[in-house]
Amino acid sequence: MDDQKKVTELYHTLHSHLPSEPALRVKTIQSLLVEKGLIQEATIDSWVQAYSEDIGPRRGAEVIAKAWLEPDFKQALLADAAQAVDELGLMGKAVGHLKAVENTDAVHNMVVCTLCSCYPFALLGIAPDWYKKAAYRSRAVREPRQVLREFGVELADEITVRVYDSTAELRYLVIPQRPAGTEDFTAAQLADLVTRNAMIGTQRELSVEVA
Amino acid sequence: MSTPESCVAAGPVFAEQWQAEALAMADLLMQSGQVDAQVWAQTLGAQLAHWQAQEDSVEHYYQAVLAALQVVLRDNTLLAEPEIARRQHEWERAYLSTPHGEPVMLKKAGAKP
């Protein structure tokens, strides 16, 4: 092996220990913000753990199940979703307001953030990958029926599609229709039926078979 | 585009730790009022337009998050690029001079490398 090769190999061995450029940059920013007292290291760690493991769409599903079972709660949710959800202790430290929109036989609601990726993540967890992509963000408003078709939702022509554009100040939660044949279901059984996509509006019919 | 997913997570929420940490820092800065949520949305939107024009992927989404974080830190005079570049260089040296398997620590300011 010639010297040049040895040097190259040594370089690669050393650099293989280096984190990727974005990882190193994040570590750098984090260490500076912590040092300046702008953020606590433990707070970052607990945020990451919470959103990696604990906070997911199950929270939203429980809200939907409660709305199906309790008409008063549904009215409160439709009137002021942030307050109704906050009273359940599920709003967390979310920034901005929340609006619940209800699917009916005549209306299907669908949520997007055309600007960036605003999403009620204190309630639904981190947004799914497709929600963050330019393809969905740019097409959901322009051709919602086609986008829904790609998610497997065939909408009859007489059903109106309403697309809601989330902002930093106002996010949306879709209340899907309660499936038929679930009259005897408990709140937990109902919550099991509610999918994340249904609460964003890229799914319309909920299956009763998973319960 | 995607198949419907149930509430059961279909894999890790974040592909890489830095992605989670970048988003955490942005959210925590908003929660503590050090960064305005609308400014964040505008800044992230501008960065997404840039990054996703190159490649519409999750990796580029988080690259945009990281870029937007640096813009709001600079614009709010919380942290500027020269300081970040200097500290990143220190981290690089620390990684390269630490034997594999040992914890990587920054040397105290002023200490000889």
Same domain, B50 and B93: no
Q: What residues of B are in contact with residue A206 (Cβ under 8 Å)?
A: none
Q: CB–CB of A36 and B78 under 8 A?
A: yes
pLDDT the model gives residue A5:
72
- Residue B113: pLDDT above 50? no
Higher pLDDT, A146 or B4: A146
Q: Which residue has the higher pLDDT, B84 or B6?
A: B84
Same domain, B26 and B46: yes
**Chain A residues with CB-CB distance to B23 below 8 A:** 51, 126
Indicate the number of domains in chain B.
Answer: 2
B94 touches chain A (CB under 8 A): no
Active site residue A116: yes
Residue B68 shares a structural domain with residue B113: no
Q: Is A166 a catalytic residue?
A: no
B28 and B52 both lie in a single domain: yes
Same domain for B36 and B62, yes or no, is: yes
Instruction: Name the closest residue on chain A to residue B40, using Cα atoms.
Output: A168
The list of chain A residues with pLDDT below 50 reads 211
Which residues have C-beta within 8 Å of that of residue A39, sequence separation ≥ 6?
A: A30, A33, B25, B28, B29, B32
User: Which one of the listed residues A31, A46, A52, A116 is annotated catalytic?
Assistant: A116
Nearest by CB to B5, which of A32, A58, A197? Answer: A197
Is residue B101 in some structural domain?
Answer: yes
Domain assignment present for residue B25? The answer is: yes
Whether B49 and B96 share a structural domain: no
Residue B5 lies in a domain: no
Domain membership flag for residue B91: yes
SS3 sequence, A41-99?
HHHHHHHHHHHHHHCCCHHHHHHHHHHHHCHHHHHHHHHCHHHHHHHCCCCCCCCCEEE
**B89 shares its domain with B107:** yes
B46 and B99 belong to one structural domain: no
The answer to the question of residue B7 being in a domain is no
pLDDT exceeds 80 at position B22: yes
pLDDT at A96: 66
Cβ–Cβ contact B58 with A under 8 A: yes
ipTM of this model? 0.87
Q: Is residue B99 predicted with pLDDT exceeding 90? A: no
Contact call for B28 and A43, based on CB within 8 A: yes
* Length of chain A, in residues: 211
Q: Examine the domain organization and report whether B21 and B75 are in the same domain.
A: yes
Residue B10 lies in a domain: no
Residues contacting B90, CB < 8 A, separation 6+: B106, B107
Same domain, B69 and B92: no
Strand partners, A97: A170
Whether residue A26 and residue B98 make contact (CB cut-off 8 A), yes or no, is no
pLDDT of residue B104: 86
Asked whether B34 and A43 are in contact (CB, 8 A), the reply is no
Contact B2 A33 (CB under 8 A): no
Average predicted confidence (pLDDT) for chain B: 87
Is A195 in contact with B6 (CB distance < 8 Å)? yes
**What are the structural domain ranges in chain A?**
3-53, 56-200
pLDDT for position A11: 61
Q: Which of A17, A26, A126 sits opposite B21 (nearest CB)?
A: A26
Residues of A in contact with B28 (CB under 8 A): 39, 43-44, 47
Most B CBs within 10 A among A44, A132, A203, hence the mutation to make, goes to A132
Structure tokens at A101: 């929109």
pLDDT of residue B6: 44
Q: How many CB atoms lie within 10 A of CB B40?
A: 23
Do B85 and B109 fall into the same domain?
yes
Q: Any idea which fold A56-200 has? A: Nitrile Hydratase; Chain A (3.90.330)
Q: Are residues B21 and B49 in the same domain?
A: yes
Containing structural domain, residue B106: 81-113
Q: Evaluate whether residue B93 is within a structural domain.
A: yes
